[in-house]
Amino acid sequence: MTQEQRMTQAQKPSLTRRLRGLLNRLDNLRGAQGPDAPALSLRDPWPGDPSRGARLVKAELEFAGAVLAMPPDIFAPTNATSLMRAHLHGFSWLRDLRALGTDAARTRARALVSDFMDTEKPDPIATTPDVTGARLTAWLGHYDFFAASADDGFRQELMSRLARDARNLAASMPPELLDQRALTALKGLAAAAIAMPEHAPYLTRTLKFLAPELKRQFYPDGCHAERSPAAHLAALQDLTEFRALLQAAGAPPPEDLLLTIERAAAALRALRHGDGGLALFNGTKEDLPSLIDLVLAQAGRARGTLSALTSCGLHRLAAAKAVLFLDAGIPPGPGLDRFAHAGTLGFEYSFGKDRLIVNCGAAPALAGSWSNALRATAAHSTLTIADVSSSEIRDSELGRLPADGLGRRPTHVNAHRQYIGGVHWLEANHNGWEKLFGAIHHRRLGLSDNGEELQGEDLIESATPQPFAIRFHLHPNVTASLQQDGETVLLRTPSGLGFRLHAEGTAPRVEESVYFGQSEPRRAEQIVLPGHQDGPQHIKWTITRV
C-alpha cells in the first residue's frame, strides 16, 4: 500500500469511530465526573526555561522564534499560526512556569488552566487529537505544581475535564495524523489510562495502535519519516515518555517500542553537529545540546556506530573533526510534509564545534512571510535555477488545518556513496526542476580523510542552458572576506580557524543572509556563485582549511 493510500485510509472516519463519538457526547451530556485526583503521580521529564516562564507571567508566550501576546480571551480563536495555537492549547509551556518556580508562576498556571476550561467557544485546534494528548500529558505531569494545592472546586473541574478529554481522545483512535503528532496523541491517552483507573482499558487500545505507528513512522536507520531533526527529537521524547508511563504502571514495554527507541536514539546522535546541536533541515533549529543530551540519556545507551542516515536520505559524512550533512532524499509525502523545505541537495559542514556552511533555519510558528521564505531553496546551501524553488512551497493560511506542506516536488532523488583514495565521495541528483525547465541538478561532494578539504561540483543537465546560482550560507559567527584574485573567499570562525572557498569559472559574491537556527534571528552572510544562461552549466569549488 502506498503512502497516499495509507493516508486516504487513515482519514476515512470508520463507523466504529463515529459510534464512539456519539457515545462520548452522551456521557458528556450526562455530566460524567472524573476522579478526585490522579491515582498515579506523573512528572514531566523535560526541563523548562525560567526566562520563558517569566514572559508567561507577563502574558507573553514565546515559542519557536515567535512571541504571542496573551489577552484574557487567549483560548478563543486567534490569528496566530496553527503551530503556535497548538502549542498554546497543548500546555507543554507549564514546564516553563514550573522552572520559574515562584508563587506568581503557580498562580499564573492555575489561572490559565481556569481560563481554558471557562472558554465557551474555544479554538477548534484545542480538540485535535495531538493537542488533546499534549494537554492531558501536561496537566497530569504538572498536577502537583498547579493543582494539588488548589481548592476543591478547581480540582474537581480539572479532573472532570481530563476525563472528558480522555474519552474524546479514545474515540478518535486510531490516529488520523500520519506524522509525529500521532505519537503525541497516543502518549496522552496512555497517560490518562495510567493516571485515572476508570480509563485503564484505554491502555490496551493505545498499545494496539502504537505498533503500526512505530513501523510506519521510522526508517530502518532509525530516522523519523518527516525527515526533520526537530520532529525526530520530538518523536523520541514522546516514545521515551511512553515507555516511562508503562514502567510507572508496572506494564512491560513492548519489544518493538524498545527497539524503536534504541534506533531513534542512534539516529539522533547522528543528526548532531560537533557543537552538539541539530542539523538544520526541514523546520529545525539548533536546539539546546543539553536538552538533546537529556533525551539521549532518557532513551538509554545506543549501541553501535553512528548511522550514515542513508535510509531517510539525510546523508552524513564524518572525517576527523569534520561533519557533513546532505539532504539527498525524496521530500516526505502528503501528511508528513508539514515542516518540509525545498532544500533538496542542500548541505551543512562543520569542523569541530564551529559550524561553517549552514542552512538558514526555520520559523514555523512565525506569522508572515518569513516562515515560507526560510523554506525556499534559496535559504539553503545548494543550487537554485532561475530563482525558483526545487519544491513548490504552499502558503499556509492562518487558522487553516493542517499546514499545506509541499506541492510540486522532486520525485527522483538518487545518491551514491563511495570511498576513493582518502576521500569520502557522495554523488546525488534530483529532478525537482524537470517539469518546469527540463533540468536535472547533479551535485558531487568529496570530504578528505582529515576533514580539512571539501571538494564540490554542481552540474545542470538540461537541453536548454539555465540561469542559476549556488549559495553557501554561513553561520553568523563566521566572517567572510573576498580576496583580490576575485575567485576566493576567506572564512574565519570564532575559534580562530581559517578556511578558503575557491571557485573555478565564476566570480564569488559575499552577500547578506539571515539565520533562524537559534532562539533569535541573526544577521549572517552568504557566498553566492552566480551562473549565467550563456555560460558553463558546471562549476567546481573547494573549501580548504588554511
Question: Residue written as cell 517539469?
Answer: 435
Task: Let me know: does 69 contact 78? Beta carbons within 8 Å.
Answer: no
Going by C-beta distance under 8 Å and a sequence separation of 6 or more, which residues neighbour residue 54?
Answer: 100
- Lowest pLDDT segment from 8-22, 134-148, 332-346: 8-22
Give the pLDDT confidence score for residue 26 in this predicted structure.
46
The yes-or-no verdict on residue 31 having pLDDT over 80 is no
The yes-or-no verdict on residue 169 having pLDDT over 80 is yes
Mean pLDDT, to the nearest integer, of 443-456?
A: 98
Give the pLDDT confidence score for residue 519 in this predicted structure.
87
pLDDT digits (tens, 9 = 90+) for 72-94: 999 999 889 999 999 999 999 99
Mean pLDDT, to the nearest integer, of 481-510?
A: 94
The yes-or-no verdict on residue 17 having pLDDT over 90 is no
Q: Looking at the DSSP assignment, which residues form a beta bridge with residue 69? A: 60
Would you tell me how many other CB atoms lie within 10 Å of the CB of residue 546?
10
Band of the pLDDT at 290, cuts 50, 70, 90? very high
The yes-or-no verdict on residue 12 having pLDDT over 50 is no
The yes-or-no verdict on residue 242 having pLDDT over 90 is yes
The yes-or-no verdict on residue 512 having pLDDT over 70 is yes
Give the pLDDT confidence score for residue 188 in this predicted structure.
97
d(CA 159, CA 75): 19
pLDDT digits (tens, 9 = 90+) for 368-417: 788 899 999 999 999 999 999 999 998 754 434 344 689 999 999 999 99
Give the pLDDT confidence score for residue 301 in this predicted structure.
74
* CA-to-CA separations, 286 to 115, 229, 276, 382, 519, in angstroms, rounded: 34, 9, 9, 19, 9
Band of the pLDDT at 33, cuts 50, 70, 90? low
The yes-or-no verdict on residue 485 having pLDDT over 50 is yes
d(CA 46, CA 64): 17
CA dihedral of residues 307, 310, 312, 317 (deg, nearest 10): 70
Give the pLDDT confidence score for residue 29 in this predicted structure.
46
pLDDT digits (tens, 9 = 90+) for 303-324: 666 788 999 999 999 999 999 9
What is the residue type of 262?
Answer: E
CA dihedral of residues 254, 257, 258, 259 (deg, nearest 10): 120
Give the pLDDT confidence score for residue 99 in this predicted structure.
98
Burial class of residue 368 in the structure, from the number of CB atoms within 10 Å of its CB (0-12 exposed, 13-18 middle, 19+ buried): exposed
466 vs 307, more confident: 466
d(CA 262, CA 307): 12
Mean pLDDT, to the nearest integer, of 252-258?
A: 96
Give the pLDDT confidence score for residue 10 in this predicted structure.
44
pLDDT digits (tens, 9 = 90+) for 276-289: 999 999 999 998 89
Question: pTM of the predicted model, to two decimals?
Answer: 0.92
> What mean pLDDT value characterizes the chain?
91
Going by C-beta distance under 8 Å and a sequence separation of 6 or more, which residues neighbour residue 266?
Answer: 222, 302, 303, 304, 306, 307
Give the pLDDT confidence score for residue 34 in this predicted structure.
67
Q: What is the DSSP string of 334-385?
A: TTS-TT--S-TT-EEEEETTEEEEE--B--TT--SSHHHHTTSGGGSSSEEE
Give the pLDDT confidence score for residue 293 in this predicted structure.
95
Mean pLDDT, to the nearest integer, of 27-49?
A: 78
Band of the pLDDT at 526, cuts 50, 70, 90? very high
Q: Would residue 101 be called left, alpha or beta, if left means φ above 0 and alpha means ψ between -120 and 50 degrees?
A: left
What is the residue type of 208?
Answer: K
The yes-or-no verdict on residue 25 having pLDDT over 70 is no
d(CA 444, CA 453): 14
What is the residue type of 514?
Answer: V
Give the pLDDT confidence score for residue 277 in this predicted structure.
97
- Lowest pLDDT segment from 113-127, 332-346, 356-370, 485-499: 356-370
Question: Residue written as cell 498547579?
Answer: 146
Mean pLDDT, to the nearest integer, of 257-262?
A: 96
* CA-to-CA separations, 76 to 53, 61, 69, 118, 119, in angstroms, rounded: 22, 15, 13, 10, 7
Return the DSSP state at 175.
P
pLDDT digits (tens, 9 = 90+) for 339-362: 999 999 999 999 999 999 999 999
Give the pLDDT confidence score for residue 126 in this predicted structure.
97
The yes-or-no verdict on residue 11 having pLDDT over 50 is no
